Amino acid sequence: MSTHIAAKEGEIASRVLLPGDPLRAKFIAENFLENVKCYSTVRNMFGFTGTYKGKEVSVQGTGMGTPSQSIYVNELIQFYGAKRLIRTGTCGSTDPNLRIKDMAIIQAAATDSGMNHNRFGVHGLIYPPVADFNLLRDAVDAAARLGYPAKVTTCYSADQFYDERGEEKEKLLLKYGVSCVEMECSELFTLGARFGVQTLGILTVSDMIFEKEYASAFEREQTFTKMMEVALEAI
> Please, are residues 149 and 105 in contact by the beta-carbon 8 Å criterion?
no
- Identify which of residues 40 and 113 has a Cβ nearer to ligand HPA in the complex: 113
- Closest separation between CB of residue 2 and ligand HPA, Å? 27
- Closest separation between CB of residue 149 and ligand HPA, Å? 19
Which residues bind to ligand HPA, rule: CB under 6 A? 90-92, 158, 161, 181-183, 206-207, 209
DSSP-derived pairing of the beta strands 151-157 and 103-111: parallel
Q: Of the listed 21, 112, 159, 207, which one is catalytic?
A: 207
207 is catalytic: yes
Count of other CB atoms within 10 angstroms of residue 90: 21
SS3 content of the chain, % helix, strand, coil (to 5): 35, 30, 35
3-state DSSP assignment of residue 200: strand
What's the distance, Cα to Cα, between the start and end of the chain in Å?
Answer: 24
- Identify which of residues 176 and 214 has a Cβ nearer to ligand HPA in the complex: 214
Instruction: Look at the chain and count its residues.
Output: 235
- Closest separation between CB of residue 160 and ligand HPA, Å? 8
Helix extents (H) in 91-132: 114-119
Residue nearest to ligand HPA (CB): 92
- Closest separation between CB of residue 159 and ligand HPA, Å? 10
Over its C-alpha atoms, the chain yields an Rg (Å, rounded) of 17
- Identify which of residues 143 and 158 has a Cβ nearer to ligand HPA in the complex: 158
> Under 8 Å CB-to-CB from 124, ≥6 apart: which residues?
none
- Identify which of residues 13 and 173 has a Cβ nearer to ligand HPA in the complex: 173
Count of other CB atoms within 10 angstroms of residue 225: 12
For the annotated catalytic residues, the residue numbers are 207
